[in-house]
């Protein structure tokens, strides 16, 4: 049974996002969705000695109220160096800084992309590669899209040959599960409870920060603080 998840791309997301990727056979970045301001699309948090800090990719938004994620363009190309400088300053004493910086720094210093969706894709794929996550990552724009909030998701799953659609728990408020059932597609929900704390710098534990915090601090041991096996992440519709 092929497992599929469909969600919007985020910038250097938290560990739960990557567990969702690891739990499915194909992870589809929903880049045809409308870009939302002050959201996770172009920013995320890291931990610093002064508390959490936002890293935000500056994007063009003036007059572009309905632009899609795939059409959202960077407004200042200098963000790459600024973000890497902030990461380097705050994690240079972390246990696994050197190992992570070896492949992460070149991504920041390349400065070769100006579309938000492509940037997010690049970082997501690189992090998956480091973690040994071999899930196929594709884009919703590669599929034929129909109207309807749930209908579109169902049809993408049908085109992808999915037998199980795995969704984030927030979608329970609007997802019409019956439409999936009509197509013979089961629905499962990601369960993000019960994540263990891991060694962090600077005092109290901050769970909802970019996965880069976990990688810099734990390196190859990062997987010990993520959900394994796959089924430990998923709660199935209609099942305990």
Beta-bridged to residue 105, according to DSSP, are none
pLDDT tens for each residue of 88-100: 999 999 999 999 9
pLDDT, position 236: 72
pLDDT, position 229: 65
pLDDT tens for each residue of 100-142: 999 999 999 987 899 999 999 999 999 999 999 999 999 999 9
Task: Work out the burial of residue 106: count CB atoms within 10 Å of its CB; fewer than 13 is exposed, 13-18 middle, 19 or more buried.
Answer: exposed
pLDDT tens for each residue of 160-216: 999 999 999 999 989 999 999 999 999 999 999 999 999 999 989 999 999 999 999
Helix, coil or strand: residue 146: coil
pLDDT tens for each residue of 54-92: 999 999 999 998 999 999 999 999 999 999 999 999 999
* Closest listed residue to residue 55, CA positions, set 14, 84, 95: 84
What angle, rounded to 10 degrees, do the helices at 211-218 and 116-131 form?
Answer: 30
Indicate the average pLDDT of the chain.
Answer: 94
For every residue of 55-123, DSSP letters joined together read EE--B--TT-TT-BGGG-BBS-TTHHHHHHHHHHHHHTTSTTHHHHHHHHHHHHHH----BHHHHHHHH
* Closest listed residue to residue 18, CA positions, set 157, 155, 123, 159: 123
- Report the C-alpha gap between 158 and 27 in whole angstroms: 14
pLDDT, position 240: 32
């Amino acid at each position: 049974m092929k497992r599929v998840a469909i969600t919007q791309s985020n910038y250097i997301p938290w560990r739960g996002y990557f567990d969702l990727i690891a739990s499915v056979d194909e992870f589809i970045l929903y880049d045809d969705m409308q870009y939302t301001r002050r959201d996770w699309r172009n920013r995320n948090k890291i931990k610093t000695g002064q508390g959490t800090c936002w890293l935000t990719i500056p994007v063009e938004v003036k007059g572009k109220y309905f632009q899609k994620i795939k059409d959202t363009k960077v407004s200042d190309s200098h963000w790459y160096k600024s973000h890497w400088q902030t990461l380097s300053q705050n994690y240079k004493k972390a246990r696994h800084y050197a190992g992570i910086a070896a492949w992460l720094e070149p991504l920041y210093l390349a400065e070769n992309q100006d579309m938000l969706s492509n940037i997010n894709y690049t970082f997501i794929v690189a992090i998956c590669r480091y973690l040994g996550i071999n899930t196929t990552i594709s884009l919703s724009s590669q599929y034929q899209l129909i109207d309807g909030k749930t209908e579109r998701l169902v049809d993408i799953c049908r085109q992808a040959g999915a037998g199980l659609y795995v969704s984030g728990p927030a979608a329970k408020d609007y997802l019409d599960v019956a439409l999936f059932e009509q197509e013979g597609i089961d629905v499962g929900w990601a369960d993000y409870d019960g994540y263990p704390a891991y060694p962090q710098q600077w005092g109290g534990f901050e769970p909802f920060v970019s996965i880069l915090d976990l990688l810099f601090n734990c390196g190859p041991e990062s997987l010990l603080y993520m959900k394994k096996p796959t089924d430990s992440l998923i709660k199935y519709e209609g099942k305990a």
